Amino acid sequence: MNKKQIIIDKALELFAEHGFAATSVQQITEKCGISKGAFYLVFKSKDELVLAIIDQFMRQITSDIDWIVKNEEMDDKLLYRFYYANFQSLKQYSNFAKAFMKEQSHTLNEELLRKVQYYNKILDETISYMVERLYGNQVKGIKYDLVYSIKGFLKNYTELFLFFDLPIDLDRLCTSLAEKTEILAKYTTIPFMSDDFLRIYHSSIEKEVSTDSIIEMINESLEGMEESIKRESLQLIKEELTNPSLSPALKRGLLENIRQDSRCKWIAYLLENFSGF
């Protein structure tokens, strides 16, 4: 495991236990067994560390959902699996999310808002793809309303995880939301959202993905990774990005080799969606 990931993992434990304000860089470095100098070589500040944790969470959930929506069998369980992946990931980071919500004014800044917009757009596009895959022309006029209704379900029911200390039956919740979505898709007749509305809404949001940035992520993931098929696949992908020579079938195989590793999910997502890999 590389130094950046060690810091993130230990900081998550401390933030969940003590909160952001009460957790110092000194405590984090002691927990990691590193010096302050080593910490500041990776992160410029504690706030930058918090943003990295948010990035890690959003990258994991984005790549997981994108894979489910685009690759799993299209049956009456697809909506259920979509909702389940969302809430399961949230549950994994719930302690961090609760601490963040309590002190969000301390960490809210322009960079965070930019990240929220960025991942929000990706979520819109993923849900839109799922809606088209499930319903096609059946919801042509109300597609965007359905997309925003699904996002509303995610947002509103997330509050159960963040603000109430209640046992959550995740299976029942996701089954219920899948049913509600099906009802909206079948019976909604009056649209509100439109293509023009969405173009305005997303006009200032751009995806900043380049080959160099993906290679940088690959180098970061390779750091501390033991010899394995995943490491070899990452190295071959890196070579392919700079000197293309592999067949489409081989490239698909390399992506499958790295997809299940939490350190590589986001790389696989970017390669599939934005790089033409």
Measured CA to CA, the distance from residue 193 to residue 191 in angstroms comes to 6
Mean pLDDT by 10 residues, the chain (277 residues): 87 85 90 91 90 88 90 86 92 77 60 81 90 92 92 91 82 96 95 70 56 88 85 91 88 88 84 75
What string of DSSP letters covers 205-265?
Answer: ------HHHHHHHHHHHHTTPPSSHHHHHHHHHHHHHHS----HHHHHHHHHHHHTSTTTH
Three-state DSSP string of 85-129: HHHHHHHHCHHHHHHHHHCHHHHCCHHHHHHHHHHHHHHHHHHHH
Measured CA to CA, the distance from residue 143 to residue 145 in angstroms comes to 5
> Is this prediction's pTM over 0.85?
no
CB atoms near residue 39 (< 10 Å)? 21
Dihedral sign for Cα atoms in the order 23, 25, 26, 28: positive
Q: Where are the domains of the chain?
A: 1-44, 45-201, 211-273
pLDDT of residue 92: 80
pLDDT of residue 139: 92
Assigned token pair, 55: 């990035």
**Helix, strand, coil share (%) of the chain residues, nearest 5:** 75, 0, 25
CATH H-level, domain 45-201: superfamily: Tetracycline Repressor, domain 2 (1.10.357.10)
pLDDT of residue 204: 46
DSSP classification of residue 72? S
- 148-200 pLDDT, tens digit each: 999 999 999 988 887 777 788 999 999 999 999 999 999 999 999 876 666 55
Domain 1-44 has what CATH class? mainly alpha
Measured CA to CA, the distance from residue 241 to residue 276 in angstroms comes to 10
pLDDT of residue 130: 94
Task: Give, in order, the Cα–Cα distances in Å from 61 to each of 83, 100, 224.
Answer: 11, 18, 24
